[in-house]
């Protein structure tokens, strides 16, 4: 079996993106675009991947870790120079190498496999992936001889008037015999006008002695590069449509799908309903018969079956079966909401676990807390977890009733079967079965207000 490798070119700065991030690390649907390529390579027939990095290389080293090998392009001198930077890792090795640009997030593992299979089945030394664009401006043109064989790739800026009329373009993707690649890479000459070594020049060098073929893309949009923020928005649109279609064909009901964004790594069971203006991203998972939205955002969260999330945010948390979240709730930072809970209007829950049948119907903050089953938080309840320097924990047992406008000053423990009177500020632990009242005694002073009211005058100045 022929060894298959990939080179991903990700060393460029990408000044047209106008961001501090290197271009290939720019997020598309909240995930760096180069990660789409690496994930699809991992699910393809490719055995080994080398990523060429340069500008802000530490970003890629942290992001990809040991999933890939890295080659360093110290000075960005073009695609030919970038490929040559991998020579210490790849030169002299037999097999096929796939060369990809790191700003193509729409390419998928099926397409990668098709390109490699076509290359090997055709016994090519080099296969150039091409596409036809009605407006090919900015792309290198595929120049063929009278017999239709590829002779060269000419960059847009170097094209003659006749060559500019060619609609077949170079996508920047190649499959090549690895030993031939490193035989011809050192022969590429510097382009004086740009001060770069063009990988495209390898076609003219190889066409005399090698077998060169092309692979024509049917869906040209899949090889679009992201060079600016407008391109990023177009790539997101295509990704969104692909992902939503896949989920709908798998039994997920998406209402008004053009307003719904689902990330590449999200898993959704059949029977889920997603309402408009909803975003689900990261490593999120949604269980069967859940209803998400409208106007909700889920990120890196697990939503169990039969959960309803409406007009709310759930980040880095888990919501158990048959629980309702929202409207206008915020669940975050490792919260685990138990089954049959109700997390209602304007409730924020952070770094908290709750047991079954617990309710916080409205206007509450519950942070850094362990909550048992069948607990009721009245409106305005707050676990006061921050003393100005450190966060502290609150522990609440089972069958606890917390009255409206109650403050629980952490660290504090509320035992089972406790009733806390409304308006209390509780600073001490409450034992099992107790009633806690922590408020000043009400005092009514009869006829007090009339002494504070000044006489009123009419418009004529009369009392």
* Cα Dmax for the chain: 112
DSSP H or E segment with residue 81? helix 79-84
Q: Is 330 a catalytic residue?
A: no
Whole-number Å distance between alpha carbons of 207 and 6? 22
Of 362, 373, 392, 459, which residue is the catalytic one? 362
DSSP H or E segment with residue 292? strand 291-292
Burial of residue 185, with CB atoms counted within 10 A of its CB: 0-12 exposed, 13-18 middle, 19 or more buried: buried
User: Do 212 and 150 form a contact (C-beta atoms < 8 A)?
Assistant: yes
DSSP H or E segment with residue 114? helix 109-121
Nearest to 312 by CA among 339, 283, 335, 289: 335
User: Do 178 and 147 form a contact (C-beta atoms < 8 A)?
Assistant: no
Whole-number Å distance between alpha carbons of 175 and 120? 9
Measuring CA to CA, how many Å separate 257 from each of 245, 261, 328? 9, 8, 22
Whole-number Å distance between alpha carbons of 134 and 154? 17
Nearest to 436 by CA among 444, 445, 428, 447: 428
Residues 6+ apart with CB under 8 A from 431: 415, 418
Nearest to 202 by CA among 175, 163, 165: 175
Whole-number Å distance between alpha carbons of 407 and 285? 34
Catalytic sites, residue numbers? 362
């Amino acid at each position: 079996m022929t060894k298959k490798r990939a080179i991903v070119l990700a060393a460029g700065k990408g000044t047209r993106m106008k961001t501090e991030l290197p271009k290939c690390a720019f997020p598309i649907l909240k995930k760096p675009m180069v990660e789409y390529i690496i994930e699809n390579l991992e699910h393809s027939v490719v055995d080994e991947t080398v990523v060429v990095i340069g500008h802000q290389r530490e970003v890629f080293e942290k992001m990809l870790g040991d999933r890939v090998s890295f080659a360093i392009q110290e000075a960005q001198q073009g695609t030919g120079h970038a490929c040559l930077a991998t020579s210490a890792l790849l030169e002299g090795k037999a097999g096929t190498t796939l060369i990809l640009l790191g700003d193509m997030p729409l390419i998928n593992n099926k397409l990668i496999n098709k390109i490699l299979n076509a290359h090997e089945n055709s016994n090519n030394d080099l296969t150039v992936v091409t596409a036809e664009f009605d407006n090919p401006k900015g792309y290198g043109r595929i120049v063929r001889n009278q017999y239709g064989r590829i002779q060269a790739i000419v960059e847009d800026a170097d094209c003659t008037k006749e060559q500019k009329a060619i609609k077949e373009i170079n996508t920047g993707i190649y499959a090549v015999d690895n030993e031939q690649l490193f035989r011809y890479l050192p022969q590429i000459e510097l382009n004086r006008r740009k001060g770069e070594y063009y990988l495209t020049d390898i076609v003219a060098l190889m066409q005399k002695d090698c077998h060169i073929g092309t692979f024509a893309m049917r869906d040209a949009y899949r090889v679009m590069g992201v060079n600016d923020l407008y391109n990023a928005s177009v790539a997101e649109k295509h990704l969104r449509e692909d992902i939503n279609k896949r989920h709908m064909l798998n039994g997920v009901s998406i209402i008004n799908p053009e307003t719904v964004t689902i990330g590449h790594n999200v898993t959704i069971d059949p029977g889920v309903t997603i309402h408009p203006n909803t975003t689900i991203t990261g490593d999120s998972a949604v269980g069967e018969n859940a209803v998400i939205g409208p106007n909700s955002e889920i990120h890196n969260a697990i939503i169990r079956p039969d959960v309803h999330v409406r007009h709310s945010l759930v980040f880095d948390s888990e919501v158990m079966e048959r629980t309702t979240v929202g409207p206008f709730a915020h669940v975050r930072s490792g919260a685990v909401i138990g089954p049959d809970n109700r997390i209602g209007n304007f409730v924020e829950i952070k770094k908290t676990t709750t047991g079954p049948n617990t309710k916080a119907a409205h206007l509450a903050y519950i942070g850094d807390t362990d909550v048992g089953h069948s607990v009721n938080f009245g409106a305005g309840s707050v676990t006061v977890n921050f003393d100005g320097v450190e966060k502290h924990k609150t522990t609440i047992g089972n069958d606890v009733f917390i009255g409206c406008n109650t403050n629980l000053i952490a660290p504090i423990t509320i035992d089972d079967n406790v009733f806390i009177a409304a308006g209390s500020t509780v600073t001490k632990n409450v034992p099992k079965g107790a009633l806690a009242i922590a408020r000043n005694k009400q005092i009514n002073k009869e006829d007090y207000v009339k002494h504070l009211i000044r006489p009123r005058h009419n418009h004529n100045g009369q009392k």
